[in-house]
Amino acid sequence: MTTIIRTMLTGLFRDMHTMVWTIVFPVAMLLGLGLYIQDGSYSERLLSGVLTTNILFGSAMVTAFYVMSHRNRGIYKLLRVTPFSTIAFIGSVTAARTVLALIVSCVVVCMSILVLGVKLSALSLLLMVIILLLSTVCFTAIGFIAANLSKDESNVNMISNVMCFPMILTSEAFYSLQHAPEWVSVVGRLLPFHYFVEAMGIAVQHPVTAGEILKPVGVLFGFTILCLTVAKVTFRWDSEGGIIRNSKKRALSNEGA
C-alpha cells in the first residue's frame, strides 16, 4: 500500500494542474482577500473558509473525476483480476489525497500566521489536524459516490456540482447566514460541510475550548461512516451496466448460480 500511496503522491506533485488548483489557488485566495479586507476576525473566518472549501473541492470533486477516469480506462477492471482489495485501493487513494490536503493546509495556515497575523494555539492546531483528517476521508468518499453514480465525464461534472455547490452555498464558510432565510440553514444542517465549517470555525477561534467542538466533529464522524459505507456499496468496477455489489470473493467463485 505504501508503494501505491508514494507513487500516487509522486504523480500528484508532478501534475502542474493539481499544484496550481490545490496549492497556489487557495494561498492566492487567502492572501488576496485577507490583505484586501484586513480585519483580524475575518482573517480567522477566511482561514477556516479556505481550508474547508479546499478540502471540499480537492477531495470530493477531484476524487470524483479521478475515479471516473480510472474506471472508464478499465483500470478497476484490471485491478479486479489482481489479489489487491478494493478497500485497500480506496484507502490508498484517500491516504494520498489526505497527505496532499495536509501539506496544502499546512502552507495555508503558515501563510495566514505569517502574513495575516492569525494567532493559533497548539490545541487549535491539533484540533485542525484531526478535523482535516476526518473531513478529507468524508469528502473523498463523497467523491467516490459522485463517480459511482455517474456514467461519463460530463455526468460526473454535473453530479459533483450538484453535491458540492449546495454545501458551499448553505454553509458559513465565507459569510454569515444570520440574515438568510431559515430554509437555507435547515438545508445546510443536513449536509456534512456545515459541520466541517462549524468545527473548523471553532478550532481557529482564539481561545478555543475542546468541549464546543465535540458536537460538529461527532456529526462529521457520523457522515464519514455513512459516506464510506455508501461509497463501498455503490462502487462500480467498470462503466458497463449498473452498480455491481458482488465482492471479490463472490467474483472468484467458480460455480454458476
Partner 1 sequence: MKTMIQVDGLVKKYGSRTVVKGLDLTIEQGEVLAIIGPNGAGKSTTLDMILGLKQPDNGTIRYWCEDPMRYIGVQLQSTPFFPGFTALENMRMFAAFYGLRLKDIELFTQLQACGLGEMAKTDAARLSGGQQKRLAIAMTLLHKPKLIFLDEPTAALDPRARREVRQLVQSLAQSGTTVVFTSHDMEEVQKLASRIVMICEGSILASGTAEELLAEHGASSLEDLYSALTDRQFT
Query: 14 or 179, CB closer to partner 1?
Result: 14
Query: What is the three-class DSSP state of 76?
Result: helix
Could you tell me the smallest distance in angstroms from the CB atom of residue 60 to partner 1? 19
Of 23, 4, 3, which is closest to residue 13 (Cα–Cα)?
Answer: 23
Taking a C-beta distance cutoff of 8 angstroms, is the pair 64, 146 a contact? yes
Of 75, 58, 55, which is closest to residue 15 (Cα–Cα)?
Answer: 58
Could you tell me the smallest distance in angstroms from the CB atom of residue 104 to partner 1? 18
Distance CA 41, CA 176 (A): 13
Query: 122 or 257, CB closer to partner 1?
Result: 257
Alpha carbon of residue 178 to chain centroid: 26
Query: 179 or 249, CB closer to partner 1?
Result: 249
Query: 11 or 40, CB closer to partner 1?
Result: 11
Could you tell me the smallest distance in angstroms from the CB atom of residue 14 to partner 1? 7
Of 199, 27, 209, which is closest to residue 109 (Cα–Cα)?
Answer: 27
Distance CA 58, CA 76 (A): 22
Could you tell me the smallest distance in angstroms from the CB atom of residue 72 to partner 1? 9
Could you tell me the smallest distance in angstroms from the CB atom of residue 24 to partner 1? 18
Query: 88 or 162, CB closer to partner 1?
Result: 88
Kindly provide the b/e burial profile for residues 118-153, where b requires at least 16 CB atoms within 10 angstroms of the residue's own CB: bebeeebbebbeebbebbbbbbbbbbbbbbbbbeee
DSSP character at residue 116: T
Could you tell me the smallest distance in angstroms from the CB atom of residue 84 to partner 1? 4
Query: 4 or 115, CB closer to partner 1?
Result: 4
Residues near partner 1, by CB under 8 A: 1, 3-4, 7, 10-11, 14-15, 69-70, 73-75, 77-84, 237-238, 246, 248, 250-257
Distance CA 40, CA 44 (A): 7
